[in-house]
Amino acid sequence: MHLTAEQGDITTVHVDAIVNAANSSLLGGGGVDGAIHAAAGPRLLAACRELRRTTVPDGLAVGDAVATPGFDLPAAWVIHTVGPNRHRGETDPDLLVSCFTRSLDVAADLRARSVAFPAVSAGVYGWDPDDVARTAVAAVRSWDDANPAAVDEVRFVLFDAAVHDAFERALTGPYG
């Protein structure tokens, strides 16, 4: 699997699937979630409402993932995952790992060969960008070891320069 980090707007990336740092309601929010909902158009919200009505009536659990079509996005799919919120006491790194591995499980089920991730739980959810970057890179590499050739490319697409730098360090550092 080829892993890269780039600074940019995840809503404009040409990959098979993008990952949305969603909230458990799946009904939109701020940050990455709001940007993806705005760029995908109103059909995304309708699809998320249908998921809430059928598959996840109580909301999506922290660390889990589910997919919808990408609608007006360049990506065919949006994989929604709910990151742990440190401000709410969700400090277990295994929850963060699960966001990345469950998203890749869903991507593999969709036969998505390329996936773009944001920095899930960094920012308003209070996780340190360096911790998120190290956790994300390790989780994706571990998942790839267990699922060789299931996904060809993972791109970490980061809006903020400092977060991008954290991911570059994680990819190239002594543990990268």
* Residue carrying the six token digits 């791109």: 155
Sheet strands side by side (includes 17-22): 2-7, 153-158, 114-117, 17-22, 77-82, 65-69
Place of tokens 């089920």: 109
Query: Is residue 33 flagged as an active site residue?
Result: yes
Which residue is associated with the tokens 């990336």? 13
Residue among 91, 94, 46 nearest 71 (CA): 46
Do residues 166 and 133 touch, judged by C-beta distance below 8 A? Answer: yes
DSSP string, 128-152: -HHHHHHHHHHHHHHHHHHSTTS-S
User: Beta strand 77-82 with 65-69: parallel, antiparallel or unpaired?
Assistant: antiparallel
- State the catalytic residue, choosing from 33, 72, 128, 160: 33
Give me the active site residues, please. 33
